[in-house]
Structure 1
Amino acid sequence: MTHPSLHSFDLCWSSLHGLLSELSDEQWSTQSLCPDWDVAGVVMHLISVEEMLLDRQPLEFAERLPFEEIAGLTEAMSSLSGAQLTEKFSSVTAARRAQLSAMSEDDFATPVMTPVGPGTYGRFMDVRVFDFWVHEQDIRTPLGMPGHEGGPAAERSIDEIRMSMPYIAGKRVGVPDGGSLRVHLTGPVAGDITVRVDGRAGLVDDTDETTASITADSTTFALLACGRVDPQSRIDSGHVTWSGDEELGERAARNLRFTM
């Protein structure tokens, strides 16, 4: 079976491998958007999680994810050069591609623990696509090497944030009961995400006027939602703007963060 996530994985793996193949030694040591990691640290993290998943059946993750193994897997790569990390990234992702390609529909439907709570192995892989895509932007942004901002993997990642917008709007932004918020994405992943609060916050599919609306490109939106960049810097640069209720719009622009 070919699970929908596999195509998105391929896009992430191919794009990131192409980027890593271009980096100089100095670029490998550039601080990423993750405070604790330089570029090499992000890559080691991505490799270590895939190594943890490699050659394990979904049922092995029914109760928990053995994330405690990641520190040791990462430490084992700490002395590798950028070229060696690129080679290891290529070999590990090739092995994971073969593993996922051989899985059945039942494998992907297996109940497992995911980083966002109980789900299926397929849902876990969707979260992995999100992780890969965001971490690629963690590398590209500080290097000034934009790329892979559109396409299926980017769309899947923006959808991951979309599903969390009721929480963001209700808990982080504080949209009042009876109020509403729309996020207008100008692209590369274009579209609107609308949340209305009627007792509780929920996603709606309508074009009615909202209490406030914020506008941003999809990559800026993702970086803000993932806590990667300072909202003030994106406000000052005009990458995020708002309309409607001034106070609510500004509060939304400053409080999209739901994960790091």
Structure 2
Amino acid sequence: MSLHPTLQPYADAWTHSIEAISALVQPLVEADWNRRTPCPGWSVRDIVSHVMGLDSEMLGDPRPIHALPRDLFHVTNEHQRYMEMQVDVRRHHTAPEITSELEYMIIRRNRQLRNENRLPTATVRGPLGTELTLAESMRRHAFAVWAHEQDLRAALGVPGNLDSPGAYVARDVLLAELPRVVADDAQAPRSSAVVFDVSGPVEFLRTVRVDIQGRGTLETSPALGPAASLALDWETYVRLACGRITPEAAGDRVKTDGDPELAAAILRHFTVTP
């Protein structure tokens, strides 16, 4: 058996992003590995270490036995502590050690994907002992690796791949969170609608409708007379949704209309990644 067709887009997105990451970091000099990225507390080296840690767990490798330092200001909750373990254990690795491990990891993961014959509904282990379907695991992983590719590009000043296969996986992952952001977090009024108009390499128009019970649903049809509307470019959308910039830092790249308090509340709660 070969990879299930439902899973193939996620495998393709991961492959595209991980190869892009490899190409980005292979020529770096040692100093470039220490550049800051948009992820708080993480350097280029840390991002690559994190990505390798994610793939290591997808392979079923045992997690490292390692004690985290107590002075990591950016680690404030259990999820962050979990993710930091794979990063901190590699923090003193040299550039050749990191790139060699990355290349070997890519070979192993490609082999795993070629031999993957489980159904998308198969249950697999996720972070912190959670359980999820194989499809959801691969979907989240493809999104994470693409997002971190963008972190590396921002740190290294090499923009690109905003419309790659991973970008479209990211779009769907982030859009799925919009009803919660609008209806639950921002507390949009019942029987109202909020429109998001996103331009750029990945463009879309989406409406979140809030019903009389206060439940939000995502629709592709535009709304007449929405309570609020937000217009922004795709890169800004991603950076806000992934917590890479604040609404204040986005500045005039976000145009709002309608209820200003509702628009501000949505932007305050726009970050949906852990």
Bucket of the pairwise TM-score, normalised by the shorter protein? 0.7 to 0.9
| Aligned counterparts of 2:27 and 2:171: Cα–Cα separation in 1 | 27
User: TM-score, normalized by length of structure 1?
Assistant: 0.85
Q: Which residue of 1 aligns with 2:189?
A: 176
Distance 1:50 1:165, change over 3 A: same
| Aligned counterparts of 1:115 and 1:69: Cα–Cα separation in 2 | 8
Count of matched residue positions in the alignment of Structure 1 and Structure 2: 247
| Aligned counterparts of 1:71 and 1:228: Cα–Cα separation in 2 | 17
What secondary structure sits across from 2:221 in the alignment? Answer: coil
Letter of the 1:27 partner, please give it. Answer: D
Q: Which residue of 2 aligns with 1:25?
A: 30
Q: Which residue of 2 aligns with 1:54?
A: 59
Distance 1:165 1:40, change over 3 A: same
Question: Is 1:232 paired with 2:248?
Answer: yes
Distance 1:110 1:32, change over 3 A: same
Q: Percent identity?
A: 25
Q: Which residue of 1 aligns with 2:238?
A: 222
**RMSD between aligned residues:** 2.4
- The answer to whether the 8 Å contact 2:126/2:132 transfers is yes
Q: Which residue of 1 aligns with 2:219?
A: 204
Letter of the 2:122 partner, please give it. Answer: T
- The answer to whether the 8 Å contact 1:52/1:69 transfers is no
Q: Which aligned pairs between 1:14-163 and structure 2 lie closer than 5 A?
A: 14-54=19-59, 73-106=86-119, 108-115=120-127, 118-163=131-176
C-alpha displacement at 1:252, in angstroms? 2.5
Distance 1:140 1:90, change over 3 A: same
| Aligned counterparts of 1:231 and 1:68: Cα–Cα separation in 2 | 26
| Aligned counterparts of 2:33 and 2:254: Cα–Cα separation in 1 | 30
What secondary structure sits across from 2:230 in the alignment? Answer: strand
Greater RCO structure (CA 8 Å; 6+ sep): 2
| Aligned counterparts of 1:158 and 1:120: Cα–Cα separation in 2 | 20
Determine which of 226, 245, 248 is the counterpart of 2:262: 248
| Aligned counterparts of 1:175 and 1:82: Cα–Cα separation in 2 | 48
| Aligned counterparts of 1:42 and 1:83: Cα–Cα separation in 2 | 16
| Aligned counterparts of 2:54 and 2:25: Cα–Cα separation in 1 | 18
For structure 2, list consecutive stretches of 5 or more residues without a partner in the other structure.
Answer: 62-79
| Aligned counterparts of 2:167 and 2:82: Cα–Cα separation in 1 | 28
User: TM-score, normalized by length of structure 2?
Assistant: 0.81
Distance 1:73 1:204, change over 3 A: closer
Determine which of 179, 182, 190 is the counterpart of 1:166: 179
What secondary structure sits across from 1:145 in the alignment? Answer: coil
Letter of the 2:200 partner, please give it. Answer: G
- The answer to whether the 8 Å contact 2:243/2:273 transfers is yes
- The answer to whether the 8 Å contact 1:240/1:253 transfers is no
Letter of the 2:266 partner, please give it. Answer: A
